[in-house]
Amino acid sequence: MPDRAATLAEAARLRGLFEAAGAQPVETSILQPAEVLLDLYGEDIRARAYVTSDALRGEQMLRPDFTVPVVQMHMEHGAEPARYTYSGEVFRRQEEDATRANEFTQVGFEIFERAAPEAADAEVFSMFFDILRPLGLRAATGDIGILMAAVEGLRTSTRRKAALRRHIWRPRRFRALIDRFSGKSPVPEQRAALLAAADPMAGAEPMIGMRGPDEISERINALREDAKTAPISAAEVELLDAVLAVRETSDNALERLRDIAVDLPAIQAAVDRLARRLEALQARGLDVTKLDFEASYGRTQMEYYDGFVFGFHAENRPDLPPVATGGRYDALTRQLGRGREIPAVGGVIRPGLALSLGGAT
């Protein structure tokens, strides 16, 4: 790893580039209230962030990223449109791999803008692409929005769609749900017995705990309703799998997705967005015939991204985390905005990693 002074100098240089692109520099606190992060990420965040506490403010986290506090700040008093840049340390708890840094510098660039979201996607990506070009990294891109649209388009109950949507970022559970809803995996014995029982609550005494009998009955009713729902057809599962399997250069991926959209019209609007994004990238001089696109990219690490996603990886160093990552997170602004929302896209670079791979200059 390069020394701290070199990393900070590189961070300042990168921040300067983003400022030159019109971004306003912002600072956030290192200590973040744990509750907001826990609400967003769930308990998993505790495995990745350092938690501390005091008797007055309760649990606090050493900021694991800047996106959440920057979005909060913008939603509270930001003007529109806005673009921000920041640089500083983030902290990641490491429990499995002692060689991974638990404290490192990030420099970020975020655009909050309602008009022409694809143009904003392209602007953020091409800035990162140009900055990182000397390092010869592999750029990976994807679009979670296409998968979300595919789920939305399934001919099945709203409840099933909600369950699938909830687990888009947990591929294993998502697959298990698809298998269950398509009838591929059998109904477990207990479930069948429960549904067949005249009085499922018989013998359940005593009732203990805060999850009351009303909640249990509600779920049983939901399960009964679900049992009557027709399975998701094999043809639809095939289409969903076809979307997930798209992994080609962007121009070919677009063609492939257009073909799939003929049978799965629900993804048409999302595929059109991809087309506009690729046009915008080309207009900025990027060769999309050499840009990789994976429809399932970003499903495991980037849970708040819900549209365009990207990452820059050192291909010959699989031991290293990505040098830069980013994407669109419209839904996050809705969640943190208390009734307000704004389309947003951004990304972060790790200047220390960039320097150790040969410097970004």
Partner 1 sequence: MTLKLGVPSKGRLMEKTFDWFGKHGVELGRAGSEREYAGFVQGIDNVDLILLSAGEIARELAAGRIHLGVTGTDLVREKLGQWENQVGELAELGFGQADLVLAVPRCWVDVSHLDDLDAAAAAFRLKHGFRLRIATKYHRLVRDFLRENGVADYQLVDSQGATEGTVKNETAEAIADITSTGDTLRANHLKILDDGLILKSQATLFKSRVATMEDADRHTLRTLKDRLHLD
Confirm if 324 and 348 have CB atoms less than 8 A apart. yes
Give CA–CA dist 232/288, Å, rounded.
Answer: 35
Q: Is 43 a binder of partner 1 (CB under 8 A)?
A: yes
DSSP code for 290: G
- In total, the chain counts a number of residues equal to 361
Give the shortest CB-92-to-partner 1 separation in angstroms. 13
Give the shortest CB-171-to-partner 1 separation in angstroms. 8
- Name which of 125 and 181 has its Cβ closer to partner 1: 181
Give the shortest CB-52-to-partner 1 separation in angstroms. 15
Structure-token pair, residue 136: 């010869």
User: Given candidates 92, 167, 284, 334, which one binds partner 1 under the rule CB under 8 A?
Assistant: 167
Give CA–CA dist 272/277, Å, rounded.
Answer: 9
Integer-rounded Cα Rg, in Å, for the chain is 23
- Name which of 36 and 220 has its Cβ closer to partner 1: 220
**What is the b/e burial string over 318-352, where b = at least 16 CB atoms within 10 angstroms of the residue's CB?**
eeebbbbbbbbbbbbbebbeeeebbbbbbbbbbbb
- Name which of 172 and 228 has its Cβ closer to partner 1: 172
- Name which of 63 and 180 has its Cβ closer to partner 1: 180
- Name which of 62 and 342 has its Cβ closer to partner 1: 62
Task: State the residue for tokens 């979670």.
Answer: 144
Binding to partner 1 by CB under 8 A, coded x per residue (else -) over 1-40, reads -------------------------------------x--
Q: Is 319 a binder of partner 1 (CB under 8 A)?
A: no
- Name which of 161 and 170 has its Cβ closer to partner 1: 170
Confirm if 350 and 11 have CB atoms less than 8 A apart. no
- In degrees, rounded to 5, the angle at the alpha carbon of residue 203 between the alpha carbons of residues 199 and 209 is 105
H or E stretch at 279: helix 268-283
The dihedrals phi and psi of 347, each to the nearest 5 degrees, come to -165, 170
- Name which of 55 and 115 has its Cβ closer to partner 1: 55
Instruction: Count residues binding partner 1 (CB under 8 A).
Output: 42
DSSP code for 350: -
Give the shortest CB-76-to-partner 1 separation in angstroms. 22
Binding to partner 1 by CB under 8 A, coded x per residue (else -) over 180-219, reads x-------x-xx--x-----xx--xxxxxxxx-x-xx-xx
- Name which of 49 and 271 has its Cβ closer to partner 1: 49
What is the sign of the dihedral through the CA atoms of 13, 19, 21 and 23?
A: positive
Give CA–CA dist 198/99, Å, rounded.
Answer: 58
Task: State the residue for tokens 């749900």.
Answer: 177
Residue type, 167: H
Binding to partner 1 by CB under 8 A, coded x per residue (else -) over 124-163, reads ---------------------------------------x
Give CA–CA dist 304/317, Å, rounded.
Answer: 26
Q: Is 54 a binder of partner 1 (CB under 8 A)?
A: no
Closest CA to 142 of 169, 177, 165, 174: 169
Give CA–CA dist 166/278, Å, rounded.
Answer: 28
Binding to partner 1 by CB under 8 A, coded x per residue (else -) over 88-117, reads ------xxxxx-------------------
Give the shortest CB-56-to-partner 1 separation in angstroms. 20
Give the shortest CB-163-to-partner 1 separation in angstroms. 7
Name the residues that contact partner 1, by CB under 8 A: 38, 42-44, 46-47, 94-98, 163, 166-167, 170, 172-174, 176-177, 180, 188, 190-191, 194, 200-201, 204-211, 213, 215-216, 218-220, 223
